[in-house]
């Protein structure tokens, strides 16, 4: 979608009627471990509004994620949730369960979504899940562990991936599961519309890209190559389980490197994400027609 198309005003009054003033807020849930998040509920929000979860990278810029997506939320009526996974509590949240602390970011997110439902009155059980860089790592692994809770997911510029490979242990593959006694349901995961997004210039081997011979052999040496290979692995897994394509896709953003600020501010990332979710005003108007 072009930036000009994203900016075109569309009347969504026939889709969602405003019921309350727009508000953005920071919340902390009582109890341990700490669970913090930013919330934006636009004035068009209703009990049936979709919930869009935005997962930050290792810079922990959760607030920026929320503010960058507010315009799309206003256009669609979606409720935005940006969890803040503190380093001292969640460590390598990208792997969903921190391997040292054993803190579970997935359960924290489920608690947060329940709290959002209580605060906003939304009744949506399944979330639309977006993650950038480390957040994309978390997003696709969360979808693998909880496919029944994910309506669709957009994974943007992950440093590396968990392949749906039954011969590799987690987190490289799904032979083992991070929760003792559990196993992955590849068919259920394959039914989740997964969208991979990466910049055409996201090829730097910087310090945030995990490097090992095994990882490079499996996935490639750059985020761009790893995104392409992982998407191919999704297609292979779906064919292996006989799962129909739910609408998965891969998109390469021209001239984009590895910067959320650049991608969201200059490369149209926010519009791309909501288009993949099917939450653009045009898509919502189309769904509302009898």
Q: Range with the lowest mean pLDDT among 11-15, 63-67, 142-146, 203-207?
A: 11-15
Say if residues 45 and 77 touch (Cβ distance below 8 Å): yes
Reported residue count of the chain is 290
Residues facing 39 on adjacent strands? 25, 81
**Secondary structure element (H or E) that encloses residue 23, with its range:** strand 23-29
Which pLDDT score, from 0 to 100, does residue 2 have?
35
User: Which residues constitute the domain of residue 177?
Assistant: 3-288
State the Cα–Cα distance between residues 12 and 4, nearest whole angstrom: 18
State the Cα–Cα distance between residues 129 and 150, nearest whole angstrom: 7
Residue 6 pLDDT more than 80? no
Residue 161 pLDDT more than 70? yes
> HEC states along 27-73?
EEECCCCCEEEEEEECCCCCCCCCEEEEECCCCCCHHHHHHHCHHHH
State the Cα–Cα distance between residues 128 and 140, nearest whole angstrom: 12
- CATH classification of the domain holding 274: 3.40.50.1820
For 120, phi and psi rounded to 5 degrees?
-105, -15
Residue-wise pLDDT for 167-207, tens only, equals 999 999 999 999 999 999 999 999 999 999 999 999 999 88
Listed residue (254, 152, 238) closest to 198, CA to CA: 254
Q: Left (φ > 0), alpha (ψ -120 to 50) or beta: where does 31 sit? A: left
Q: Please tell me whether residue 146 adopts helix, strand or coil conformation.
A: coil
Which pLDDT score, from 0 to 100, does residue 285 have?
60
Note the Cα 105 to chain centre separation in Å: 14
Structural domains counted in the chain: 1
State the Cα–Cα distance between residues 271 and 140, nearest whole angstrom: 20
């Amino acid at each position: 979608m072009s930036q000009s198309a994203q900016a075109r005003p569309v009347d969504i009054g026939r889709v969602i009627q405003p019921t309350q003033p727009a508000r953005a807020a920071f919340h902390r849930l009582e109890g341990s471990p700490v669970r913090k998040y930013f919330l934006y509920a636009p004035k068009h929000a209703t009990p049936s509004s979709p919930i869009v979860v935005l997962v930050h990278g290792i810079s922990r810029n959760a607030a920026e994620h929320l503010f960058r997506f507010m315009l799309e939320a206003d256009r669609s009526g979606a409720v935005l949730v940006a969890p803040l996974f503190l380093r001292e509590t969640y460590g390598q949240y990208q792997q969903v369960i921190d391997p040292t602390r054993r803190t579970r970011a997935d359960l924290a997110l489920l608690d947060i979504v329940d709290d959002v439902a209580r605060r906003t009155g939304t009744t949506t059980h399944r979330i639309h899940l977006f993650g950038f860089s480390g957040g994309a790592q978390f997003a696709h692994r969360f979808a693998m562990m909880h496919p029944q809770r994910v309506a669709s997911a957009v994974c943007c510029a992950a440093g590396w991936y968990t392949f749906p490979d039954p011969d590799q242990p987690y987190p490289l593959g799904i032979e083992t599961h991070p929760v003792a006694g559990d196993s992955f349901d590849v068919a259920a995961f394959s039914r989740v519309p997964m969208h991979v997004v990466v910049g055409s210039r996201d090829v730097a081997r910087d310090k945030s890209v995990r490097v090992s011979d095994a990882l490079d052999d499996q996935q490639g040496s750059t985020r761009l190559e790893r995104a392409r290979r992982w998407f191919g692995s999704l297609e292979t897994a779906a064919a292996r389980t006989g799962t129909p394509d739910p609408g998965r896709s891969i998109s390469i953003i021209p001239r984009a490197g590895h910067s959320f600020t650049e991608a969201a501010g200059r490369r149209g990332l926010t519009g791309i994400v909501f288009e993949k979710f099917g939450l653009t005003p045009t898509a919502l108007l189309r769904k509302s027609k009898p």
